[in-house]
Each structure stands twice: as structure tokens, then as C-alpha cells.
Amino acid sequence: MIQNPILKGFNPDPSICRVGDDYYIATSTFEWFPGVQIHHSKDLKNWKVIAHPLNRISQLDMKGVPDSCGVWAPCLSYKNGIFYLVYTNVKSFDGVWKDTPNYVVTTNDILGEWSDPIYLTSAGFDGSFFHDDDNSTWYTNMLVDHRNGKFFGGIELQKYDTDEKKLVGEIFYLTSGTNLGFTEGPHLYKKNGYYYLILAEGGTEYGHAETVMRSKNITGPYEAHPQNPILTARNSPEYELQKAGHASLVETQNGDWYVVFLVSRPLSVQGRCILGRETAIEEIIWKEDWPYLNSGSSLPRLEIPLPNLIEVSFQENSEREDFDSEILPIDFQTLRIPLTEDWISLTENPGFLRLKGKESLTSTHTQALVARRLEHFKAEITTSVRFEPLKFQHLAGLILYYNTGHYHYLHITKSGGQKVLSIVSCCNYKMIEQKEIITVSGIEEVFLRATINYDRLQFRFSKDGSNFEKIGEKLDMSILSDDYVRDESERYRPAFTGCLVGLCCQDLATNSRYADFDWFEYKISDC
């Protein structure tokens, strides 16, 4: 059986593509660099991250972009030996105006270098390519309409010239969607002479859904599926998989059809989702030239039968990273900026990850922070750090991070002339410092640990690597979720990511004091 979700932790907006016997899913990364996660599978069950294609500033300049902006809803497709990746690099989204430039990059080797971007349009977001059987390529996107607070303006279509590398010809307006509204995430497919337009509707929260329309002509008119939405959890609030929608279809080499889509797993009924929006999969069957879930329901299942494909598993990632390589593991990403020697090094002190302190955790420009996704409700994260702060403006340690206004941070700093351990949290953009401070002066290596148990977080520390003691009170993990940030913020802020756990260093005086991390360990916990 395939267990849902197939991509755990912050991996939303899946776009699936098959090339021969290989399956690839691209997912959104927002402000995390490099941009776009590409996952690979042979059997639709076992997946592994293999690439981050947007790894140069020439492809993805995100310095200064607000929280939850950056890379939205990539679309991965393949035509005549070339992979195409369409993506939005959102520059602003707070207020009436939305700045949403869209680009496409290409490669003939999905593991190799991708091209510099070709600009498409800024008229909306969720751009998608469809390659028709007459060798033409078409581009769809949702239209942003700022007039009178409308925002969701419907779905547009325009031809893309793969030789001229630009959008050409007339722009066609396809649909304003169904009565669910919030119409976005368009993808086009063709089967048995029909063009199928699948749409994410109802908003990406608990009303989320996937709808389908079809037409004999690519430019329309489009008629709605008789049983829309074909995929949703909006009517089953107590179900384990919520927010189902933003889908992408694929046909296997055996002629079977599947759909991948985002879901979330709340801590309580329609509560907070600390793992963010994840990716799940379902079977599709066709009846009277309409797609349906094979379950006979619109509700995604927790598990589905393994497809008629040979199962191919991947080696599990090691729980512990010793930083012995000169390359950072692929499951780590950075905030907005690429890895450069002016702030990070795996060679200056071999066997250690060196972070050179930069700007504060409030910065949207230059933070010395590396992190990986939280994928489990119960986890234990531990690291070893060597850091000698000279003043209170020097900090380094272990962080659980949602955005610039929501995190929990166990760190070493200077206080009262002593080297100390301290905890600072940020909730709704307000700083909260715990009262307990532990002196660690004279100790070269300090061990830091975060123990997560659903909505509870307990920090611990050790001076010898064996005996760990609690520091501070239990903290609320649930503030590190889309739901908390969106619901509790004093004004609207985009909130579409998830919790990442990692390492960081700040030097608020000279941007130069460094910390050395010997190893990082992520374990599924039985706490």
C-alpha cells in the first residue's frame, strides 16, 4: 500500500511529470533557497529529493521578499527531450497590489544545470505549461484582479513559442471557475479529444477543493464536472487529511491515472498544522470521459493500493549529519540567499559547519541560517556547537522556525560577562524571552536539543553530550503553523510554509563572529 502523505512536511503545490519509467514531483519552496524541490520515484510510493533547480541568483533573486513569498506553485513538464519548469517569484502580497512575475527555466538533464529564466508575465500566478499533441505549447495562469478587492480574476490561456521563447498571440479567458471561488492552480490535460482544466478552488485552507472542467477546444467554452469538486475534505472536518486540493494528474506507462495534491494534518479538528502543507496521492478512474477518485468518494484515502509498477525503494537519509562533506545535504535549505563563503563554510574547519553571524532573525535579507523540514509530530533534534560570544549581540544555536515573526530559539550568547544559554521565542512578531539562563562559561562544546511532542516543545542542553537537562518551560509548537500565523496576526500576512528545524548564528555588531557546528541529528521520537 501507499501511505498518505507521500511527501511529508512542508511540500505543497505538487506538479507531477512522468518521463518513461521515472516520475518527478516539483513542490513549492517559497522563501527557502535553492528554489523548488524535485522528488523522484519509480513506483509512486517511494520518493527522494534529487534536485533544487533554482540554485543561482540569476534564476531566483529573493533577497528582501516578504515571508511566504518567493517561489509559488512550480509546474514541471517535459517535451521533446526538454524539461520545462514554470514558477512564480512573488515579490509582494500584502495589500491590494500583488507583484507576481512568472518565469520558465529548461534543461535536458533534470540533475544538471537549468537555464537562466525566461520572463513570461506578471498578470497572475500559478503558471502552468501544457504541451499539446500538435507540438504546440500553451501557458495558463490565474489572473490577479485588484479592482474592488476582487483578487481572484479567473483563468487565462496564451500560446508559448518554444523557438522564440516567449508568449505569443491572443490571450484567452477560459473561466472564472465554479461557485466555490478562489480559483487558482490551473493545469491542462488532454484525453479522448477533450481538454481538461483542473482547478484549485475554495482557498488553500479548510475549504480547499479540486474541481474539473472540460472542452473540445482548448480555448473553450468549458463545462463543469457533474460532481464537482472531485477531491476535497471540506465536508469532513474530523478527517485526518485536510485542505485537500491544488492537484496534478499523471498517466502511468500502463495507462493508469493518478492525482497528486496537497493536504495538511491538523493537531485537532480543523486545528493547527505544524507540518505545513504536504503532498498526497490518489487513484483516478474515468467514467463518461470525466475523472473521479477510484475510492467512490471525493475524500482522499489514508492509503491506496500500490500501482501496477515494480516497487523501488531508496536508502533512508541518515539520522545524523557529521558535516564531513564539502557539500551541504540536499534536505537543508537557506533563507532567501545562496550558500556563499562570506557566511557559511564546510571547509574552513573541516568536519564542522561554520556559520558566520549575519543579520537578525527579523531580517528578510541576509540571515546565516540553514534548516530542514519538520516531517514528524514527534521528533528529537540535537546538535553540537562551539561558539565564543564576545557580547550580547552575538548569538548561535538551534532554531525551530516558521517565519520572521514565529520561532523558538535555544542559543548561546553573552550576558553579565558570562557565556550563557538562553531561549527566545517570537509569537505574532513579538519577542518573548524565557527567564531561565544557564551559564556555560569555560565549556568549549555545548549540546543543544529540541524534543517535539505534537503541540509541545521542550528544549534541553548538555555539557558532556550524554546527560541532558531541561531548560525553560514547555513551549507551544502550534504557533509554528500557517493556521496560527494567519488567524492570530493583527493584519493579514501570507502564511503558506511550515516548520523547519536548523542552525543559525547572528552577529548584530559586525556580521563576522562565527559558530562551528560539529553535527546535526534528526530522529523520530517516541517521547
| CB hemisphere CA count around 137 (13 angstroms) | 21
* Residue 57 confidence (pLDDT): 98
Same domain for 518 and 386: yes
Whether residue 350 lies inside any domain: the answer is: yes
Mark the ranges of the chain whose per-residue pLDDT is less than 50: none
Same domain for 174 and 75: yes
Closest by CA to 333, choosing from 146, 498, 203, 211, is: 498
For the stretch 58-112, pLDDT in tens is 999 999 999 999 999 999 999 999 999 999 999 999 888 899 999 999 999 999 9
Domain extent, residue 394, equals: 320-524
Same domain for 424 and 509: yes
C-alpha cell at 232: 476535497
Report the distance separating Cα 129 and Cα 327, nearest Å.
33
Active-site residue, selected from the candidate residues 13, 43, 67, 375: 13
* Residue 527 confidence (pLDDT): 66
Active site residue 134: no
Same domain for 297 and 328: no
Q: Is the peptide bond before 305 cis (omega within 30 degrees of 0)?
A: no
Same domain for 327 and 286: no
Same domain for 215 and 149: yes
* Residue 316 confidence (pLDDT): 85
DSSP designation for 438: E
Give the chain's end-to-end CA distance (angstroms, integer): 27
Residue that finishes a domain, picked among 272, 304, 336: 304
Give me the CATH number covering residue 350: 2.60.120.200
Same domain for 298 and 325: no
Report the distance separating Cα 47 and Cα 23, nearest Å.
9
Residue that finishes a domain, picked among 264, 279, 304: 304
Structural domains in the chain (count): 2
Helix, strand or coil, per DSSP, at residue 259: strand
* Other C-beta atoms lying within 10 Å of the C-beta of residue 524: 11
Same domain for 394 and 295: no
Active site residue 13: yes
Whether residue 284 lies inside any domain: the answer is: yes
Same domain for 115 and 23: yes
Report the distance separating Cα 326 and Cα 278, nearest Å.
30
Cut 0.85: pTM above it: yes
Active-site residue, selected from the candidate residues 31, 156, 184, 380: 184
Residue that finishes a domain, picked among 270, 304, 338: 304
CB 200 within 8 A of CB 185: yes
Same domain for 517 and 396: yes
For the stretch 404-461, pLDDT in tens is 999 999 999 999 999 999 999 999 999 999 999 999 999 999 999 999 999 999 999 9
The residue whose grid cell reads 526538454 is 82
Whether residue 271 lies inside any domain: the answer is: yes
Give me the CATH number covering residue 165: 2.115.10.20
Whether residue 309 lies inside any domain: the answer is: no
85-120 burial string, b = 16+ CB within 10 Å, else e? Answer: bbbbbbbebeeeebebbbbbbbbeebeeebbebbeb
Helix, strand or coil, per DSSP, at residue 230: coil
C-alpha cell at 504: 543559525
Same domain for 439 and 391: yes
Report the distance separating Cα 52 and Cα 112, nearest Å.
10
* Residue 169 confidence (pLDDT): 97
DSSP designation for 231: E
**One-letter amino acid of 458:** Q
Whether residue 358 lies inside any domain: the answer is: yes
Whether residue 310 lies inside any domain: the answer is: no
Same domain for 167 and 245: yes
